[in-house]
Structure 1
Amino acid sequence: MIKYIGLYHFTISEPRYALVDGFSAETQCFLRDKTRSSEMLFMVLWLKGVKFTVTTVDMRKKPAELKDLAPGTNPPFLLYNGTLKTDFIKIEEFLEQTLAPPRYPHLSPLNKESFDVGADIFAKFSAFIKNNPNNTFHEKNLLREFKRLDDYLNSPLPEEIDHNSRENITVSKRKFLDGDRLTLADCNLLPKLHVIRVAAKKYCNFDIPAEFTGVWRYLQNAYEREEFKQTCPADIEIEKAYFTVANQRK
Structure 2
Amino acid sequence: MKPFPVNLFGKATTLVQLKATGRPLLAAERRYVSEGAIELEPDKDIMEYMRNYSADHYLLTDMKFTAAAIFKENNVEALFNNKWLNTAPNSLAQVMNVLALCFEATHPPILIDNGLAILENEKIERHIMKNIPGGYNLFVQDKEVATLIENLYVKLKLMLVKKDDAKNNVLLSHLKKINDHLANRNTRFLTGDTMCCFDCELMPRLQHIRVAGKYFVDFEIPTHLTALWRYMYHMYQLDAFWIRPPHTAQQQ
Residue by residue over 1:171-228, the C-alpha shift from the partner in whole angstroms, topping out at 9 and shown as x without a partner, is x2x2111111111111111111111111111111000001111110010100001135
* Aligned equivalent of 1:246: none
Letter in 1 for 2:76: E
* Contact kept in structure 2, 1:153 and 1:214, CA below 8 Å: yes
* Aligned equivalent of 2:182: 153
Structure 2 unaligned spans of 5+: 1-18, 22-41, 43-70, 79-87, 91-95, 246-252
Greater percentage in helix? 2
* Aligned equivalent of 1:175: 188
Letter in 2 for 1:121: L
Does 1 or 2 have the higher relative contact order (CA < 8 Å, sep 6+)?
A: 1
Residue by residue over 1:102-125, the C-alpha shift from the partner in whole angstroms, topping out at 9 and shown as x without a partner, is 665202236432332111211100
* Aligned equivalent of 1:128: 159
* Contact kept in structure 2, 1:120 and 1:145, CA below 8 Å: no
Residue 139 of structure 1: which of 146, 168, 175 is its match? Answer: 168
* Contact kept in structure 2, 1:27 and 1:79, CA below 8 Å: no
Percent identity, aligned pairs only, is 24
C-alpha separation between the residues in 2 aligned to 1:71 and 1:103?
30
What TM-score comes out, normalization by structure 2 length?
A: 0.50
Kindly report the root-mean-square deviation, in angstroms, between the aligned alpha carbons of the 2 structures: 4.1
* Aligned equivalent of 1:209: 222
* Contact kept in structure 1, 2:156 and 2:171, CA below 8 Å: yes
* Aligned equivalent of 1:6: none
Residue by residue over 1:139-158, the C-alpha shift from the partner in whole angstroms, topping out at 9 and shown as x without a partner, is 111111101101101002xx
What TM-score comes out, normalization by structure 1 length?
A: 0.50
Which runs of 4 or more aligned residues in structure 1 lie more than 6 Å from their structure 2 counterparts after TM superposition?
69-73, 80-85
**Alignment length, in residue pairs?**
158
C-alpha separation between the residues in 2 aligned to 1:103 and 1:70?
27
Alignment of 1:33-112 (within 5 A): 68=101, 78-79=109-110, 95-101=124-130, 105-106=135-136, 107-109=138-140, 111-112=142-143
C-alpha separation between the residues in 1 aligned to 2:77 and 2:153?
30
Residue 231 of structure 2: which of 218, 223, 231 is its match? Answer: 218
Which entry has the higher C-alpha Rg, 1 or 2? Answer: 2
Letter in 1 for 2:148: V
What secondary structure does 2:149 align onto?
Answer: coil
